[in-house]
Amino acid sequence: MKYMLLMQFSAAGTDFPSIDTWTPEEIRAHIAFMGEVNDKLTAAGEWVDGQGLGGPQQARIVRAGDGGAPVVTEGPFAETKEFLAGFWIVDCASPERAVELAAYISTAPGPGGRPLNMPIEVHPVMSAPAQEL
């Protein structure tokens, strides 16, 4: 079964400073950890895809307007307290394994090497609607 693991950043309830205040060494350690996660997932045969995402200042919200034309607005906005920081798609033998991977990813290091314990959402990837539909 495939699962999407979503790394959420939430300014509410965090006890670490924004990444733009981290030292270059702390940022390198954080990125290296993410590379190690990807390498371990690949070695275990569980890797499907994963990417870090640009911050909210680079995101756009799109809705269909008149005749289906895109209506684009900036956002989520800078005052947003939560945003999607990255994702992985993994192929696991069980939901418990997906939860185990999410917990491990949550330990990504932050300032001083302390684990960030950022929330990681675990979503099954649905390949088709349920048979009863």
**Strand 2-10 and strand 120-124: pairing?**
antiparallel
pTM: 0.82
Q: What is the pLDDT along the chain (133 residues), one digit of tens a residue?
A: 999 999 987 666 677 777 888 999 999 999 999 999 999 999 999 999 999 888 777 888 889 999 999 999 876 555 556 778 899 999 999 999 999 999 999 999 999 999 998 889 999 999 777 677 6
Q: What is the DSSP letter of 114?
A: -
In three-state secondary structure terms, 63 is strand
Q: What is the DSSP letter of 54?
A: -
Long-range contacts of 73-76 (CB under 8 A, 24+ apart): none
Task: Give CA–CA dist 128/133, Å, rounded.
Answer: 10
- Name the nearest CA neighbour of 16 among 95, 129, 113, 105: 113
